[in-house]
Amino acid sequence: MTSKTLFEPYLLGSLTLSNRIVMAPLTRNRAGPGFVPGTLAAEYYGQRASAGLLISEATQVSQQGQGYQDTPGIYSQAQIDGWRKVTTAVHAKGGRIFLQLWHVGRVSHVDLQDNGAAPVAPSPIRARTKTFVHNAFVDVSEPRALTLEELPGIVSDFRQAAANAIAAGFDGVEIHGANGYLLDQFAKDGANVRTDAYGGSVENRARLMLEVTAAVVEEIGAGRTGIRISPVSPANGVSSSDPQAQFDYIVDQLNALGIVYIHVVEGATGGSRDVAPFDFGSLRRRFKNTYVANNGYNLELAASRLSESKADLFAFGRPFIANPDLVDRLKTSATLAEFNPATLYGGGSAGYTDYPTLAAASRP
């Protein structure tokens, strides 16, 4: 195979993607009042619709699920209406887009919670990480442990959010089970020291992630359901003593549910691909549908891994920020623009919708 194979159509369930390049979720902190995505969001995603699949920024399923300022939700009618403008813009350009469903768990701050409540977690263990609130990065707040009686409500929030996403015109949803957020916190024993049915064994720690996935599948169908996982990433202070056993089991169960893809962060999120020993090939072999590979990919690595059949689709994150036409730039081996870190989080159009395409940048 050659690198050009990356730019040929791919069948994802019943959806035909124009290429194998995926735009990974990118938090940009630009939602308006009521955590509603605005007209700039529609422009931003529409500019990047040449990706085979766009995955939206992480979107909280409830107010309790919010962990950073100005991130969008999918639990109110106004939010559904705002997101519909985004999906309309993407579909008008022939693109496909999934919404990423998010509950941050303990990675939050009391100022983002209803009535200043403590963030929730599997166990009352404070994360060694920061969050973005009041336009600054600050330590997260001390969490409280969710009770058994509360867990069906978490599952219900994800189910309803998936239904809302389809109502907003999305082609499907991606459950956020990665990067040290709630479902990942339950799965990893560095954050989960429960002694009930949701703690202790590999099976128990996987329970909430799998219950959420099953509920979403029941609501919108397996063909419109994906999930993101990060078996060895230490993002947001999580750790696992048994990642291979844990995620081999999780992926076996996800495969049984028949979901359309798993989106795997290979290594440390945004960092080393070799942060810890792990056989990602084991996940690839266990999962019979689409494997989306993520973390540190460039054209050469993606082409090589595709030629070895180690993944089907390849997710690119930050390169999409300053390169709305990233697919064309990769296809022609053009130089990639660099994004401005000062405008990464929050603000308006600057550093969001004003990055030019290669063609526009070359005009006199």
Task: Tell whether 6 is covered by a domain.
Answer: no
Task: Look at residue 2 in the predicted model and tell me its pLDDT.
Answer: 44
Under 8 Å between Cβ of 330 and 306? no
Domain that holds residue 274: 22-294
- Look at the chain and report how many structural domains it folds into: 1
d(CA 91, CA 93) in angstroms, rounded, equals: 5
pTM of this prediction?
0.97
Backbone torsions φ then ψ of 168, nearest 5 degrees: -85, -5
Task: Tell whether 276 is covered by a domain.
Answer: yes
Radius of gyration for the chain, computed over Cα atoms and rounded to the nearest angstrom: 19
Task: Look at residue 1 in the predicted model and tell me its pLDDT.
Answer: 37
Catalytic residues, by residue number, are 181
Task: Please report, in tens digits, the pLDDT of each residue of the chain (364 residues total).
Answer: 344 699 999 999 999 999 999 999 999 999 999 999 999 999 999 999 999 999 999 999 999 999 999 999 999 999 999 999 999 999 999 999 999 999 999 999 999 999 999 999 999 999 999 999 999 999 999 999 999 999 999 999 999 999 999 999 999 999 999 999 999 999 999 999 999 999 999 999 999 999 999 999 999 999 999 999 999 999 999 999 999 999 999 999 999 999 999 999 999 998 889 898 999 999 999 999 999 999 999 999 999 999 999 999 999 999 999 999 999 999 999 999 999 999 999 999 999 999 999 888 766 6
Under 8 Å between Cβ of 100 and 25? yes
Coil, strand, or helix at residue 264?
A: strand
d(CA 309, CA 338) in angstroms, rounded, equals: 30
Task: Tell whether 3 is covered by a domain.
Answer: no
Task: Tell whether 73 is covered by a domain.
Answer: yes
Task: Look at residue 364 in the predicted model and tell me its pLDDT.
Answer: 61
Which CATH number does the domain housing residue 223 bear?
A: 3.20.20.70
Task: Tell whether 62 is covered by a domain.
Answer: yes
d(CA 77, CA 84) in angstroms, rounded, equals: 10
Task: Tell whether 326 is covered by a domain.
Answer: no
Q: Where are the beta strands (DSSP E) in 105-181?
A: 120-121, 130-133, 136-139, 144-145, 172-177
Task: Tell whether 228 is covered by a domain.
Answer: yes
